[in-house]
Amino acid sequence: MDANETLFEGEEKAPEAPESYLAVVLGGTFDRLHDGHRRLLKKSASLARERVVVGVCTGPMLAKKELADLIEPVEKRMKAVEDYLKSVKPGLIVQVEPITDPFGPSIVDDKLDAIIVSKETFSGGISVNEKRAEKGLPELKIEVVDLLSGGESDEKLSSSALRRLDYDRSRHSEDLQGTPNHHNQTRDD
């Protein structure tokens, strides 16, 4: 096994994906690329024989995210996704683009075969297929990837949790430096 074939806890090495597709699509925010993202991207690369299309959320897609102002710039997130996919499967065509709606290229690209989702985003895969049907495009096979950390608490890895951690660290750093912290006001609930 080479350095790019990291197995995540609870993941078994398979010689080749039993099911594979010419082109797969997936989407997400991909903020602070973590093991959950890498698991999703690695599975996508293993399922794709030629091409992976990745929509990276920006603009209105970020409005309801926790600590949205701390989300990394879309260009940085797109580069991290592209670099990781190319490191996992160097010959793969990797198409990464910003998306401002839940569908992105998944409902216009007629050369896609499957959509990669997590258990939490499975309904999004169904919505994509409904939109594709409206447009006369073939339905995509929905492949589900388990994003649980596999740790003792079985807590899903989360960019929101990482943003909260960064936020808390910056507050702590401000406190140590004696900088006034306007976010630290008490409330009567």
Task: Give the integer Cα–Cα distance in Å for 124 and 103.
Answer: 8
Asked if the structure places residue 164 within a domain, the reply is yes
| Residue 51 or residue 120, greater confidence | 51
Predicted pLDDT of residue 146: 84
Asked if the structure places residue 157 within a domain, the reply is yes
Predicted pLDDT of residue 30: 96
What integer best gives the mean pLDDT of the chain? 81
Separation in Å, CA 146 to CA 62, 116, 162: 23, 11, 19
| Residue 10 or residue 123, greater confidence | 123
Which tens digit of pLDDT belongs to each residue from 142-170? 999 987 654 444 445 555 555 565 556 66
Burial bucket for residue 110 (CB in 10 Å: 0-12, 13-18, 19+): exposed
Predicted pLDDT of residue 86: 97
Asked if the structure places residue 70 within a domain, the reply is yes
Among residues of the chain, what percentage have pLDDT more than 70?
68
Asked if the structure places residue 182 within a domain, the reply is no
**Greatest extent of the chain over all pairs of C-alpha atoms, in Å:** 61
Asked if the structure places residue 112 within a domain, the reply is yes
Query: Phi, psi at residue 24, to the nearest 5°?
Result: -125, 160
Give the helix/strand (H/E) hosting 47. helix 35-47
Asked if the structure places residue 90 within a domain, the reply is yes
Q: How many domains does the chain have?
A: 1
Residue position matching structure tokens 């690329």: 33
Predicted pLDDT of residue 147: 73
- Give the range of the structural domain holding residue 91, as residue numbers without chain letter: 21-177
Asked if the structure places residue 187 within a domain, the reply is no
Which tens digit of pLDDT belongs to each residue from 82-136? 999 999 999 999 999 999 999 999 999 999 999 999 998 999 999 999 999 999 9
Q: What is the CATH number of the domain that holds 132?
A: 3.40.50.620
- pTM here is 0.73
